[in-house]
Structure 1
Amino acid sequence: MSAAHSPVGGHVPVAGGPATGGLKYAGQIDAEVVQIFVSNPRGWAMTAGKPDEDAKLREGELPVFVHANYLINVGSPSPETLERSLASIRHALERGRAVGAGGVVVHTGSSVTQSYEDAMRQVHEHLLPVLEEIPDDGPPLLLEPMAGQANMLCATVQQLGPYFEALEHHPRLGVCLDTCHAWAAGHDLTAPNGVRETMDALVETVGEGRLKLIHANDSKDPCGSGRDRHENIGAGKLGEAPFAELFRHPAARGVPFVIETPGRAPEPHLKDVETLKRLRDAPPES
């Protein structure tokens, strides 16, 4: 499969409904794939879906991905946070199945005040049963490594190894790689062979075929900063070149690219999508 088969799109707002509002915005930015929230990303309330909206997404032409609640943390020592996190993941997976999602993205979380070992035992004990519940026609759960702040359970691609081990390399488990997070965690994607080395390490760590989605975001901050501040494609510290290289790595071919870049109007997002398509479709350098 060539790089040209990687669809490019964006996270879309769902005012008026994920199909009504989200698909309208997708058209405005010329998206080939969309990512949506199915509940308030910064609250614990879980929103019921509407069958007609779900059907439009499920039966539509664009691939759909779901991003779960930002508050989710299966590594938290708080019993309340753990309980709410598991409920939110189950809700996102259920809603993802209803809209025909290709995956549900969840952040890998933090140990907060407990030890890394205790947090990972908690991941094994509580998240593995959730994976076992996913039906054959349900979306996989996609782990998104974090930007490297304190006590993160997973930031570098190598740190996905213990996470996958805790979840017994479950077949319903995948990866969402965020370029801004990887950069912030210390993967220098601008260095010679930086993209290739990062992607090779990802495949070596979790195996082939586990990468299901790429969050294509430039960064406002230097490599290794630990700061998760997105920038528009080519306008930040990464520049355009790493994205062009990423399209051409075998592990990324055919994998959807979704932007989560700044801007509240369609114009900057349309430009980002156009830039990524240009990089995707350009002939490889000889």
Structure 2
Amino acid sequence: MWKAVLEAKRVGARAFGMFLRSQRSWNSKSLDDEAAEKFQSTCQECGFESCYILPHSPYLMNLGSPKEGTLLPFLLSDSKSVYFPPYPLPFISCCLDVFLKSRAMLVEELGRCKQLGLTLYNIHPGSRVGAISVTECIKRIADGINYAHSQVPDVTVVLENMSCQGSTIGGHFEELREIIDHITDKSRIGVCLDTCHAFAAGHNLADEAGVKLMIDTFSKIVGISYLKAVHLNDSKGEVGCHLDRHENIGQGYIGLEGFRQVMNEPRFDGIPMILETPYNPDFEDYSTEIGLLYSLCS
């Protein structure tokens, strides 16, 4: 894990994101104290403060999972019999077990942050998988965060805005605000603005005043004090497409002029800005895009 710190330093980053476990598995090995101490000492040696490190939750986590799942029948192709699968398919239904496992995962992940000396933890809010109302889903997400807060002190949960794709929660700033309204300890909740997600949700960051308008809207609805980080991604899809498809900086529909606005927006000062762009064989590594972003600063 400490090697991530060295890599961030090597490519010229001043902030970085990381996974604290496999992002596609419910199970993970515990983090031993020696590895945690090595991570902290490497951060200190490389000059990275905890407020500029933003771990990301595994993709399986869904704090908005419905209380009850529905096992939908499938007609077997070779007969007229009806088959009920022994488990709910994730894109059709979700069961209470997913919520409990997600909540337990969040507690474990906040514990890892605490062990590593980190203070921020980024999550996708969750999805109602088409089975419950937005209001009920938001309440479940907040309940999961409140429970995790009660188990692990000090670490702030950072909600990522989404692209309005499918049944996901968080594509509208009003949804993020409603989650925050249900959080007991509001000093430990925040938001990370993803540029690709915002663009896909309908905020035209490619427009001349698009970034300013988005931040003004965010400030009015959510509150600028809750802004804790930014994910820097161009978009493969057009504005309002609702697709979560990241593109390299300047090669998508947001474009370089959009990111010039981002890099010169004063309300982004002092918070981590994390690249999540795809691998590009034309780039040596992330240092290419980091240098490009710095060049846009005036």
- TM-score norm. by structure 2 comes to 0.81
**Structure 1 residues 43 and 32, CA, compared in 2 at 3 Å: closer, same or farther?**
same
> What amino acid is the match of 1:100?
G
Map 1:106-255; keep pairs closer than 5 Å: 106-112=123-129, 113-135=131-153, 138-168=154-184, 170-255=186-271
Structure 1 residue identity aligned to 2:36: D
1:38 aligns with 2:20: yes
Alpha-carbon distance in 2 for matches of 1:205, 1:133: 29
- Counterpart check, 1:66 vs 2:55: yes
- Structure 2 residue corresponding to 1:88, chosen from 76, 84, 105: 105
Cα shift at 1:224: 1.0
Structure whose alpha-carbon radius of gyration is higher: 2
Q: Which of 37, 50, 54 lines up with 2:32 in the alignment? A: 50
Letter paired with 2:240: G
The runs of 5 or more residues in structure 2 that have no matched partner are: 67-94
Does the aligned pair in 2 maintain the 1:105–1:141 contact within 8 Å? yes
2:80 alignment partner in structure 1: none
Please say if 1:75 is aligned against 2:93. no
The alpha-carbon deviation at position 169 of structure 1 amounts to: 6.6
The alpha-carbon deviation at position 83 of structure 1 amounts to 0.7
Deviation at 1:149, TM superposition (A): 1.0
Question: For residue 30 of structure 1, what is the amino acid of its counterpart?
Answer: G
CA distance in 1, matches of 2:184, 2:225: 16
Other structure's SS at 2:224 match: coil
Q: Does 1:98 align with 2:80?
A: no
Provide the TM-score with structure 1 as the length reference: 0.85
**CA distance in 1 between partners of 2:286 and 2:209 (Å):** 28
Q: Which has the higher contact order (CA 8 A, sep 6+)?
A: 1
Distance 1:278 1:99 in 2: 33
- The Cα of 1:29 is off from its aligned counterpart by 1.7
Q: CA deviation at 1:98?
A: 1.8
Bigger drift between 28-37 and 178-187 goes to 28-37
2:230 and 2:184 map into 1 onto residues whose CA distance is: 23
2: CA distance between counterparts of 1:208 and 1:168?
Answer: 19
In structure 2, what residue type is equivalent to 1:109?
G
Q: Deviations over 1:92-119 (max 9, x none)?
A: 1111122222410000111111122221
SS in 1 for 2:61: coil
Aligned ranges for residues 9-28 of structure 1 at < 5 Å? 18-20=1-3, 22-28=4-10
Count, aligned residues = 261
Contact 2:54 2:272 in 1 (8 A): no
In structure 2, how many angstroms separate the alpha carbons of the residues matched to 1:86 and 1:171? 20
Q: Over the residues paired in the alignment, what is the CA RMSD in angstroms?
A: 1.9
User: Which amino acid in structure 2 is aligned with residue 92 of structure 1?
Assistant: E
Report if the CA contact (8 A) 2:40-2:116 is conserved. yes
Aligned mates of 1:73, 1:204 — CA distance in 2: 27
Give the secondary structure class of the aligned counterpart of 2:279: coil
Which amino acid in the other structure matches residue 34 of structure 1? F
Give the AA of the match of 1:130.
A
